Amino acid sequence: MQKNLARACGASGTTACATVAKNTKTGQVVSNINDNVIGALYHSNCGTNDWLRIDFGVARNITRVIITYTDTRFLYRWPGAKVRVGDINGFNSNPECATLVHAVVNDHACVATGRYMFLVTGMSGGDACIVLQEMQAYGTCTACPTGQSPVVGSNGFLECQCSLGYTATNSTSSRDRTCVSCQVNTYNPTRLGVPCIACPNNTRSLSASVKRTDCKCRGAEDGDTGFSGPDGGPCESCPVDHYKGISLRSGSCDKIVKSNSTITFPYAINTPLRNILALSFRDNWILGDQVHVHRSGNRGTNDVVLTYTNSSIRGGYWLPSNVNPLLRINDTYRFFVHRAILLQKNASESGIALRLV
């Protein structure tokens, strides 16, 4: 979609671009030429080679110009006036892209690229005046190359710079640079194209990471049991009987639970047991897995049995043999499952509160 590039400047890319004229008549305001108000008039002070200029701030691809002046008495001043577009800041130095005619609305194709657009009178003497209400320049804003995004440059206009999480491989010039994503285990919080920063010790990150906290304490490697700690480090080795198998995961290490042992759960009293089973263990359960609940003082070791099953509506879930038991003091649990080792999540990740003791 094309837009009026004469009003595509500033940090937002939506404000009027800077304007200047050779010789403005007293009381006139040159910024009226691109204020998006047809009623606002601009009148120069006249003279041979009279001109006005719009500065886009950066080179733009122009395809069309529209110049409007509704007072038909003075349209005789238009024929022969030239629109010139280019990167040279000189009224007569850039290529012509349109010539005006006697019309209230001069709507012309103008295929050109450049930072500056000049309107230069085609007359001489006292009638060589530029009088208009609005000057529009339409084109398509050029998308930034891969790995770059538009930011406000030193000139106050939008320009392409390396995106967050990317680094420049060659020139630092916004026109010539090539930007590539930061490699895994590095990050870049700036858009300046500077080298990516290595993640802290014992942390890992994805490619194109943008901040230190994207570096997560790593999982097990080379025979160790992994590390835990805040995102961005510092990280400490998992304690005894704990393990972390996923590098790009925040939080503490999982507790190692041997499935052939009888255990208790350190969760809040009256927490539904099947919630604990569904949310608090790392690996997916396998159909047919069972947990037997022994409730002291009741009928025996299999007071409640929960079996992992599934349905087309609910998917996998724990089905109690009679009622869904709530966690009670002195309950013990025995796993009859396919895996020899279970990994129990920390409470902050499972979302189930630890019991205070």
CA-closest candidate to residue 137, choices 97, 92, 104, 175: 97
Domain for residue 201, yes or no?
no
- What per-residue confidence (pLDDT) applies to 153? 58
Answer yes or no: is pLDDT of 30 > 60. Answer: yes
Q: Which domain holds residue 325?
A: 255-350
pLDDT of residue 320 exceeding 80: yes
Q: How far apart are the first and last CA of the chain?
A: 65
96 falls within a domain? yes
pLDDT at 199: 97
Integer Cα distance of 88 and 159 in angstroms: 19
Q: Give the model's pLDDT for residue 344.
A: 87
* Predicted local distance difference test score (pLDDT) of residue 301: 52
Closest to 165 (Cα-Cα) out of 193, 203, 201, 204: 193
pTM value surpassing 0.85: no
Residue after which a domain boundary falls, among 117, 139, 161: 139
Q: Which residue has the tokens 């916004």?
A: 174
Q: For the chain, what is the domain count? A: 2
Check pLDDT > 80 for residue 151: no
Q: Are 191 and 162 in contact (CB under 8 A)?
A: yes
pLDDT bracket for residue 357 (50, 70, 90) = very low
Give pLDDT tens digits for 73-115.
Answer: 889 988 999 999 999 999 999 999 999 999 999 999 999 999 9
Within a domain: 193: no
pLDDT at 128 over 60: yes
- The CATH number of residue 10's host domain is 2.60.120.260
Identify the pLDDT of residue 155: 52
> Of the segments 22-31, 159-168, 211-220, 320-329, which one has the largest average pLDDT value?
211-220
Look at residue 177 in the predicted model and tell me its pLDDT: 73
Burial of 332 (0-12, 13-18, 19+ CB in 10 A): middle
For 278, the enclosing helix (H) or strand (E) is: helix 273-279
The strand pair at 262-263 and 290-294 is best described as unpaired
Residue 221 lies in a domain: no
Average pLDDT value for residue range 158-178: 76
- 176 lies in a domain? no
CA–CA gap between residue 354 and residue 209 (Å, rounded): 33
Residue 191, pLDDT score: 84
pLDDT in tens, 264-288: 887 888 888 888 888 888 877 999 9
Residues above pLDDT 90, as percent of the chain: 50
Signed CA dihedral, 214, 215, 216, 221: sign only: positive
Instruction: Note whether 137 and 119 are within 8 A (CB).
Output: no
88 located within any domain: yes
With bands split at pLDDT 50, 70 and 90, how would you rate the model's confidence at 157? low
pLDDT band at 156 (very low <50, low <70, confident <90, very high): low
Q: What is the DSSP string of 178-191?
A: -EEEPPTTEE---S
Give the chain's radius of gyration (CA, Å).
36
Domain-terminating residue out of 139, 172, 188: 139
CA distance 83 to 51: 10
Span 204-227, mean pLDDT?
A: 94
Task: Say whether pLDDT at 117 is over 80.
Answer: yes
How large a percentage of the chain has pLDDT more than 70? Answer: 91
Q: Which of 91, 113, 139 is the last residue of a domain?
A: 139
Cβ-count burial 161-178 (b if 16+ within 10 Å, e if not): bbbbbbbbeeeeebeebb
